[in-house]
Amino acid sequence: MGNTDIKVPAVGESISSGIISLWHRQEGDYVRAGDALFTLDTDKVSTEVAAPAAGVVRIGVPADREVKIGEVVGSIEEAPEPAAAVAPPSVAAPSPAAPAPPPAPAPAAPVQLEPQDRRFTRKKLSPLRKKISTQLVAAQRNAAILTTFNECDMSAVMRLRSEVQEAFQAKFGVKLGFMSFFIKAVVDALQSEPQLNSRLDGDELVQNHFYDIGVAVGTERGLIVPVVRDADRKTFSELEKDLLYYSSRAREGAITIEDLQGGVFTISNGGVYGSLMSTPILNPPQSGILGMHKIQDRPVAVDGRVVIRPMMYLALSYDHRVVDGKEAVTFLVRVKDAIENPLRLFVKSQP
């Protein structure tokens, strides 16, 4: 019987190494071809690596160790699949022996302070967390980031969702959420203020003529930004299906590098975690990012009267080297108007 090497697979053109964050099987376990063997964390994605053959697992490299693409990290030893264990015949239990007297109580241990090494733990940053930290610092160092704020009344979009939700879900098999409205509002604003849909490349300004919108997703391993392609051409149901697909892929650790590349603008929703206000950081090389926040009932003035409305603060961070303040403010007002008049977006997107 022969052995099959377990190799670290290539997961992207620019990735040369990663860390085995977790072995899903232990030494000596039997696996079938295609079973999950280990999770490989890189600076861009986390990938589950499947067994290349059936047999007994032999682990050559332990978890939390950095490995190179193509490196052999173990092997699978050919072996027949073990049969189900057969329970041994029952044997009558021996008669219980007479008890021994209870032991004398032990003296109370003296009080001791916690050892210093139990007061904290130390471990290496994952490649993804290291990449995130590097990019965030680089974004603030290499761009002139400025943030402008506004707020929007969510009453109309909440009312529209409530009115069409049942029919929408029955027809398309997905729920109508808030994010699809914001994606459409951002596309509308990018078309109105195209400077936000451009980026610097050396001493050249590159103007994008497509609308691939990144949507930030928080995972256990860190923040990732999968990209919804051609958002200008998609209906609300298609956007919701894309968002559901990426959400499930992120939970499973199955996001690929291709899912993360090529976005022209990013939307980040801190409101799902309860954030009321924030200043989002640019996702280079993009020139703009919209921060959504918690919907909160607040008193506002409407037609000379104070009323309670569900309000959301919006924050637009932008690269001031590319975008002027007037363009940024106009862009955010356009997003606000689209969300407060969502029927226009909804009707416009229908085939």
Helix (H, G, I), strand (E, B) or coil at 17: strand
What's CA 59's distance to the chain center, in Å? Answer: 30
- Please say whether the dihedral angle defined by the alpha carbons of residues 256, 259, 260 and 261, taken in this order, is positive or negative: positive
- Decide if 24 is catalytic: no
How many helices and strands, by DSSP H and E, does the chain display?
Answer: 7, 19
Query: Residue 39 in contact with residue 27, Cβ under 8 Å?
Result: no
Residue 13 to residue 35: CA distance in whole angstroms: 25
Beta partners for 55? 31
* Active-site hit among 24, 35, 232, 320: 320
Dihedral of the CA atoms 14, 16, 19, 25 (nearest 10)? 100
Size of the chain in residues: 351
- Decide if 320 is catalytic: yes
* Active-site hit among 5, 64, 230, 324: 324
Helix (H, G, I), strand (E, B) or coil at 302: strand
- Please say whether the dihedral angle defined by the alpha carbons of residues 175, 179, 182 and 188, taken in this order, is positive or negative: negative
143-162 b/e (C-beta count within 10 Å ≥ 16 → b): bebeebeebbbbeebeebbe
Residue 290 to residue 149: CA distance in whole angstroms: 10
Q: How far is CA 96 from CA 92, 93, 99, 100, 103, in A?
A: 12, 8, 8, 12, 19
Q: Which two tokens stand for residue 41?
A: 């964390």
Residue 328 to residue 242: CA distance in whole angstroms: 28
Residues belonging to the active site: 320, 324
